[in-house]
């Protein structure tokens, strides 16, 4: 998938010169493990834990350089915890972001290419797979989430399902 100048590749190719930056086994199996959504980099960065005052030296610059050279990036992802009450159709509690991968990639993309939506993966704690996720859960997640390392929920929408 090509979005602006960002090449998104979630497949491992043993014959390729380089693997996509950030590729994990979860990315290669997203249709079993989680969901593909389109999300703006700024929204991802709002939901994930902040990079902090002391980012990995040179990481964002490295990502910008690789992006400019056309190296493929794997889709960043968020890990969500679904409230147990949702299994009983009680939606008083809010889903929470409690993990991430890809903040440096998305910071570089945001700075270089802008804030256009791109493919982001959502994975779930509690051994939930996509077959366990009810359509109304996706709607509820998109309406309100608790960002990582916070306690207050924020309103969506956050993504468009792909």
- For the record, the structure tokens of 121 come out as 């993966």
- What's the pTM value of the predicted model, to 2 decimals? 0.92
d(CA 3, CA 119): 9
pLDDT of residue 88: 96
Q: What is the mean pLDDT of the chain?
A: 93
Does residue 2 surpass a pLDDT of 60?
no
pLDDT digits (tens, 9 = 90+) for 142-153: 999 999 999 999
pLDDT digits (tens, 9 = 90+) for 57-102: 899 999 999 998 889 999 999 999 999 999 999 999 999 999 999 9
d(CA 65, CA 123): 28
Q: Give mean pLDDT, residues 110-134.
A: 95
pLDDT digits (tens, 9 = 90+) for 11-35: 988 888 888 999 999 999 999 999 9
pLDDT of residue 22: 94
């Amino acid at each position: 998938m090509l979005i602006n100048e960002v090449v998104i590749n979630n497949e491992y190719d043993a014959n390729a010169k380089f693997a996509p930056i950030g590729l994990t086994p979860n990315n290669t199996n997203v249709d079993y493990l989680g969901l593909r959504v389109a999300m703006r980099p700024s929204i991802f960065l709002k939901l994930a834990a902040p990079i902090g005052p002391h980012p990995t030296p040179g990481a964002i610059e490295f990502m910008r350089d690789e992006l400019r050279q056309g190296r493929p990036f794997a889709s960043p992802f968020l890990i969500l915890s679904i409230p147990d009450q949702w299994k009983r159709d009680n939606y008083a509690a809010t889903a929470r972001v409690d993990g991430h991968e890809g903040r440096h990639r998305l910071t570089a993309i945001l700075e270089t290419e802008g804030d256009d939506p791109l493919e982001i993966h959502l994975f779930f704690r509690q051994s939930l797979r996509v077959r366990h996720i009810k359509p109304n859960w996706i709607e509820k997640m998109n309406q309100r989430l608790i960002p990582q390392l916070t306690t207050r929920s924020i309103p969506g929408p956050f993504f468009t399902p792909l």
